[in-house]
Structure 1
Amino acid sequence: MNLKVQKSKAESQKSKVEITGSKSETNRLLLLQALYSNISLENTSNSDDSEVMADALQKSKIKNQKSLIIDVHHAGTAMRFLTAFFAIQEDKEVILTGSSRMKERPIKILVEALQQLGAEITYEENEGFPPIKIKGKKLRQSKVSLPANVSSQYISALLLIAPKLENGLELILEGEITSIPYIKMTLALLNEIGVETSFVKNVIKINQKSEIVNHQSTIESDWSSASYWYSIVALSEIGTQITLSSYKKESLQGDSALVEIYKSFGVETVFNSNNSITISKNSNLKLETLNFELNNCPDIAQTIAVTSFGLGIGCHLTGLHTLKIKETDRLEALKTEISKLGANISVTTDSLTIQQSNNLNSNIAIATYQDHRMAMAFAPLALKTPLIIQDAEVVSKSYPAFWEDLQNIGFLIEKE
């Protein structure tokens, strides 16, 4: 489904949007809930990824079914977390597979780490990539090391199962650590349910915990989803306000860096007493190149790049090496699509640079590469020029109500 997206003449300057729970927090807590049945969850994400995760974990509970085939489709988080989860499910044999793109996304570093702990995992097709076969068993080792600059999802996958290992886990990270906020999120969620952890220099230790007391978690709304609303406000007239629920000032999510980053785009954030935030455009910008290091929040790079281009200012974004193994190679995809609109953009293996320019081509069709963030990052540009977003339904991966929410605040959206 292709959608034409454009600005409404009757666009409201003040709007409210409800955003469901963080996909990152939800998927971690779903796995912990599967390990400890007396955890209850509120405000879970309604994303495809979280539904895939929940469905797979539900299948794991079926008694007398020792062999399973689970298809995670495009859900990278589910692939990584479930690989670790099923490695410790004794007497279960599982084949984890996914979409054609998923079969191109590496899993070898996580598999090898689990094998160090004693896991039995083999590749069904290509070495180092899904699909994989996992024969669940008790893992008796308690010490493992892996490169620190890998996707934090590999690290979190190990940390989440660690309390159920008979001697806990000591994880040694070698080199400079990537995406520390996501690791700290995982540790904080473990702490919330009563698991003792430590993170000193490059060593993480998780204590064994066989049972926990009854625990209820209310999941904070998703900051990655909030990024598109920050972009919309930045690209709007001074005075535009959007209220989003529900967010914490002391967030576990790395993408809450939006609050500081978007000050450079004239957007201010107010945390309200009811856990909502109000974001407002309150100033114009100096036309200077902005520099952001996004090692801790790479998922908002596409949004920031599009915002910069739409405002006619340059940007230099670094710390983006993990974007090449996402739903698509996000750096190359951004380069291709934003160039169509008239941008002068260059990318390396871990950075992106857009030159200051006022070029903006109209009625361009944006390819989304089966990547939800490509669709949503480009949509706010409709405030500047009509756009066609191809395969627009891909947003359901993380934010199913995205197009409906845009319409509700005054965007005109038509099927092509």
Structure 2
Amino acid sequence: MLLQMKSVRMSEINGRIAARPSKSVMQRVLAASLLAPGRSRIRNPSFCRDSEAALNAARTLGAKVTKTPELVTIDGGLSPNRQEIHCGEAGLTLRMFTPIAALFDKPIKMIARGTLRRRPMDGIQEVLTSLGCSCTVNGNHPPLTVTGPMRGGCCEIDGSLTSQFLSGLLFALPLTPAGGCIRVTNPQSLPYIDLTLETLSAFGIQVANQDYRLFRVRPNQVYSPAEVAVEGDWSSASFFLVAAALAGRIEMSGLNPASRQADKGITAALEMCGAQVKWTGGILGVRKSKLRGFTFDATQSPDLFPPLVALALNCYSISRISGVRRLRHKESDRGRVLLEEFKHLGARMKIENDSLIIEGGKIHGGVVNSRHDHRIAMAAACAGLKTKKPVTIVGSECVAKSHPGFFSDLAALGGRVQ
């Protein structure tokens, strides 16, 4: 496939933009809507590639889907019409819908493409087997084939890599005859677990959470259909908020200041480095100011690393971002890719233990290969707003995974995008 390229030049950012709908929320609501007999309505839906993958999974497992740009209607009901689910590059869709697929007594194959084919599926086979299912994995990587029906029971999972499989278990176990108890060692991504629990509650499902280390799920529960509005996506919003802190001002609507999304933490990082951050009547405003180095723990919000790197490179002193161990199995080995690709722009960074150390100062333009990682591409675009020479992003089309209109939105705000 021929890679696309975009270039971003020094620009002044100024304007108002609405946050894109959250793909993390959208995928969870789709799973719950599939499992709820009756009609659910999803307002402000997301249609990025990852969300489309979840829509495909829901259809394959029996949901009837009607969609318009403003509304998705789901008639729920478990009745698989094919024995393969194509998950694209959506890690959440694959890991979350695998336990749901294991509710059935026929084999269902979970298929991935692109970078997701290289991402590990640690523990899935062992846990599903302990819950009464058959599961085969291709050398700890997709594709996976699962055969149920899942009976439920107790299991233990390692939460250090991802919470996505845990979310899938929490969606599936309420429908089993035995329910379940899940013991979690080293739980991470706690805000994303909260998103799952919040979605389950909206659809009438009860789960007891004991400090994220033990979850108890009652058996034979019934999902109730619901109407849900998908809130704005803090993950994609973080790049525009950083763009404003670097190169101008922005007002963003559609974000929930009380959101469970982990990447809401971007506002704290912006305040630490000296950017002007203000909420006014539900609108989040960010303005540039003199930026200083900052220290930020991104262990629970690893997707913030790329925009925070673009921010830190333009601060006048050293910044430290901890949680690097969470980056290895993203769409790329994201910590290593940030080091390797941003050095082409003159970035001075290093990894010490679990922290990324960034020396602020001027960076120059250059060429960054996205490595098929949407967040690397968007971070490079933000960096280009402050460089005298343009930043060219090879493989820029990968932004469609989470934000298909990223470059057009950046241009609408004043970004010089070619």
> What TM-score, normalized by structure 2, do the two folds share?
0.89
**Which secondary structure state, in structure 2, belongs to the residue aligned with residue 325 of structure 1?**
coil
Which residues of 2 match residues 387-402 of structure 1 at below 5 A? 387-402=391-406
CA deviations 1:48-89 (Å, max 9, x no partner) are: 00001101221222898665223322211111112112111x
Which residue pairs with 1:199 in the alignment?
Answer: 209
CA deviation profile, 1:322-355 (whole Å, cap 9, x unmatched) = 2100111001100001111112211257431123
CA displacement at 1:209 relative to structure 2: 5.3
Partner of residue 129 from structure 1, selected from 127, 131, 141:
141
Give the residue type in structure 2 aligned to 1:382. G
Matched, 1:279 2:280: no
Aligned residue in 1 for 2:408: 404
Given that 2:251 and 2:285 are in contact with CA atoms closer than 8 Å, whether structure 1 keeps it comes out as yes
In structure 2, C-alpha distance between the alignment counterparts of 1:290 and 1:324, rounded to whole Å: 23
Say if 1:68 and 1:257 are closer, same or farther in 2 by CA, change over 3 A: same
3-state SS, counterpart of residue 128 of structure 2? helix
By how many angstroms is 1:279 displaced? 2.3
Q: How many residue pairs were aligned?
A: 397
CA drift at 1:170: 1.2
Is contact 2:20-2:237 (8 Å) kept? no
Give distance in 2, aligned partners of 1:285 and 1:35.
Answer: 48
CA–CA distance in 1 between the matches of 2:187 and 2:61?
Answer: 32
> What's the secondary structure of 2:92's corresponding residue?
helix
1:67/1:92 contact within 8 Å kept: no
Per-residue deviation, residues 198-235 of structure 1 (Å, max 9, x unmatched):
22132112334532444211111100011101211111
- Residue 74 of structure 2: aligned partner: none
- Indicate conservation of the 8 Å contact 1:142/1:170, yes or no: yes
Q: CA deviation at 1:144?
A: 1.1
**Post-superposition shift, 1:179?**
1.2
Letter in 2 for 1:92: K
CA offsets 1:266-316 (integer angstroms, 9 cap, x no match): 23433343x4322233x4234xx4221111111011110121013343221
One of 86, 94, 115 as aligned partner of 2:108: 94
Gaps of 5+ in 1: none
3-state secondary structure, aligned to 1:130: strand
CA distance in structure 2 between the partners assigned to 1:85 and 1:54 by the alignment? 14
Gaps of 5+ in 2: 64-77
Rounded to whole Å, the distance in 1 between the matches of 2:171 and 2:81 is 23
Deviations 1:238-278 (A, max 9, x none): xx4312221222111011111211102323433343x4322
- 2:198 alignment partner in structure 1: 188
Residues 99/312 of structure 1: CA separation in 2 closer, same or farther (3 Å cut): farther
Is the strand fraction higher in 1 or 2? 2
Aligned to 2:307, what secondary structure does the other structure show?
A: helix
8 Å contact kept, 2:13–2:250: no
My pick for the range that moved more, 330-339 or 74-83, is 74-83
Q: 1:219 to 1:163 in 2, by over 3 A?
A: same
157-166 or 25-34: bigger deviation = 157-166
Question: Does structure 2 conserve the Cα–Cα contact (< 8 Å) formed by 1:52 and 1:75?
Answer: yes
Match of 2:231 among 220, 223, 238: 220
Which residue pairs with 2:100 in the alignment?
85
Q: Hey, what does 2:131 align to over in structure 1?
A: 117
Partner residue in 2 for 1:314: 318
User: Which residue identity is paired with 1:36?
Assistant: A
Structure-1 separation of matches of 2:79 and 2:270? 53
Is the Cα–Cα contact under 8 Å of residues 6 and 393 in structure 2 kept in the other structure? Answer: yes
Q: Which moved more, 1:142-151 or 1:24-33?
A: 142-151
Task: Please tell me whether the aligned partners of residues 150 and 178 of structure 1 are also in contact (alpha carbons under 8 angstroms).
Answer: yes
What is the CA–CA distance in structure 1 between the aligned matches of 2:397 and 2:403, rounded to whole Å?
10
Residue 285 of structure 1 aligns to which amino acid in structure 2? L
CA RMSD of the aligned region, Å? 2.0
Displacement over 6 Å in runs of 4+ = 62-65
> Does structure 1 residue 252 correspond to structure 2 residue 260?
yes
Partner of 1:325: 329
Give distance in 1, aligned partners of 2:115 and 2:61.
Answer: 24
